[in-house]
Amino acid sequence: MCGIVGYVGKQAACGILLEGLKRLEYRGYDSAGLAIGAKDGLDVIKKVGRVENLIRAAAGVKETAHTGIAHTRWATHGRVTDINAHPHVSSDHKFALCHNGVIENYLAIKKFCENHGYTFQSETDTEALVNLIAYHYQKEPEAAGKNRFLTAVRKALLHVEGTYGIVALCADYPGEIVGARKGSPLVVGVGNGENMIASDISAFIGRTQNVIYLDDGQVVHLTAEDFDITTIADEAVDPVIAKVDWEIEQAELGHFTHYMAKEIFEQPVALENAIRGRFSDDQSTAKFGGLNIDPLQLRHVDRLLFCACGTAWHACLVAEYLIERFARIPVEVEYASEFRYRNAPLDKNTLVIVISQSGETIDTLEALREAKRKGFRTLAITNVVGSTIARETDGGIYQHAGPEIGVASTKAFTSQILLTAMMALYFGRLRDLSFTEGREMVEALRLVPGLTSQVLDQADKIKVIAKKYAQFEDFLFLGRQAMFPIALEGALKLKEISYIHAEGYPAAEMKHGPIALVSPECPSVFFAPRGEVLKKVISNIQEIRARKGPVICITSAPRDELPEDLANDIIRVPDAHEAVQPILFTIPIQLLAYYIACERNCDVDKPRNLAKSVTVE
């Protein structure tokens, strides 16, 4: 989950690395560090805290050095200290290493290195690997036609169990970088007279749009003028250079204070991009270009299994309601982290669908691989074209949401819901959803971007409501049917960025336990869409009000269908087709969580203990 960036070229490396780290800070912000390679050795600086601390500390770094690696950390092994920050240096000072992932056998490697005279300063697993590289380097004799640095890294990795994305420097090879990946993303940026490597393309998108996504088990050797990719077993790899389809301006804050706010207000555009070109000519169904499964095969699917983590898991729950409602296909939803370790019995005609914004979520990736090992067809919904999940799945749907930098997902979540609603339409039309019903759904889906803008127009009103409730320390979020996953998502958003304890429940389950929490100090947020369960939700709200619990009601019902004193505060969203209601009801909870967090002076884009892309188990 850490951010890695490396540069080799003709320009001063330090400034380029620091700029890359600033763009990667959403991946981890416990500490940061860099190592510069020069003819007189390695220059290493590490600081606890945000990248700004490192920038101040690096003011005196040599501007003549043209090669370096840098890292922003989300701590796994070891406390948050300067010593535990990356890059780590071998005890002979020959190597510097940045690492994302977990080395599971690091204790055995550490003991081996100690027995051969290498010493340790940190509490991390990474230091074991950098010393193991140093050991193999010292052991490896000079040989004609062989790069001793590259060979040492490759031999060390043969002994590693676990996951890694690494970049390394060697004091004896000042103009070279070696990188490798297994389970943790790395992408090469191919430039003109310079090359870069990073855990995310945002680190170098302003310098090049030509990228190579490394696969597991691959090693890359970079110089300013060239690159070479091989496997750990030293087999040649023919690289595929892809073109990034977004500009650096899309990852800039613009006039917004936080990325989260920017991405909330980008949702109409993101949703428009998700549906563009994805409806049939007769406007009766959806169409997807990358499924790689023909309609006849899909007709034989008896069950869908969705796997995801966090916010994407909530999108899967919405998919369950929508697909079962409109396509009449049984749907199961699994936490990706649990699916891999369960021996769940699945019908042979099950289609496995994974959802991941980054396409690199390690638990979701491993769930995908487990499904493929068992012979199931797989699809993915992801926002990153060249991500590992996008490359390993049988087919997929690209979100087109643009880069999402804020740790708390917003536009990616609503985009995922919209695409699953389109899947419900698509599968429904393959079965028994009529032409007329299909046309009605298409029309409703086309209206989503505009309806979302209408909800966003209420931001100032929601900000006032947020200020009123910002001092509370407990919240309940309650909804029924497809609003239950939105209740879960609302609670998660509030927890993530404001550190307020919040729980999401089906509204009818409140009286089976959670109602014990209701008091004047515990507000409840209710989702009350117009429809068959509206009266039931109103009854649930009145149970809360009878016990003096403050209520915020988000509703699409007309005023004459609600009691006058139903709630302390009411947020209205447009009445719409039930397939798109979950999207419209999501926007207010995003704004509510955002404004509450701002009122509490929380670091919205970098909430404590969290990172954007979870690439370690």
Instruction: Kindly list the distances between the CA atom of residue 202 and the CA atoms of 207, 449, 477, 582, in Å, as whole numbers in the listed order.
Output: 10, 26, 35, 30
Catalytic residue among 110, 155, 262, 612: 612
C-alpha to C-alpha distance for 152 and 164, rounded to whole angstroms: 16
Catalytic residue among 2, 98, 170, 316: 2
Sign for the CA dihedral angle at 336, 361, 183, 606 comes to negative
Helices (H) and strands (E) in the chain, counts: 19, 24
258-271 in b/e burial notation, b at 16+ Cβ within 10 A? Answer: bbbbbbbbbbbbbb
C-alpha to C-alpha distance for 447 and 461, rounded to whole angstroms: 23
555-579 in b/e burial notation, b at 16+ Cβ within 10 A? Answer: bbbeeeebeeebbbbbbbbeebebb
Q: How far apart are the first and last CA of the chain?
A: 10
519: DSSP letter? B
**Most distant pair of Cα atoms in the chain: their distance:** 86
C-alpha to C-alpha distance for 419 and 48, rounded to whole angstroms: 41
Query: In angstroms, how far is CA 329 from the centroid of its own chain?
Result: 28
Annotation marks residue 146 as catalytic: no
Burial status of residue 325 (CB atoms within 10 A of its CB: 0-12, 13-18, 19 or more): middle
Annotation marks residue 612 as catalytic: yes
329-342 in b/e burial notation, b at 16+ Cβ within 10 A? Answer: bebbbbbbbebbee
Cβ neighbours for 154, distance < 8 A, ≥ 6 positions apart: 180, 219, 230, 232, 234
Neighbours of 352 (CB within 10 A): 26
Strand partners, 97: 88, 168
Contact yes or no for 201/189 (Cβ under 8 A): yes
The single-letter code of the amino acid at 269 is V
C-alpha to C-alpha distance for 277 and 35, rounded to whole angstroms: 46
Neighbours of 486 (CB within 10 A): 29
- Residues marked active site are found at 2, 612
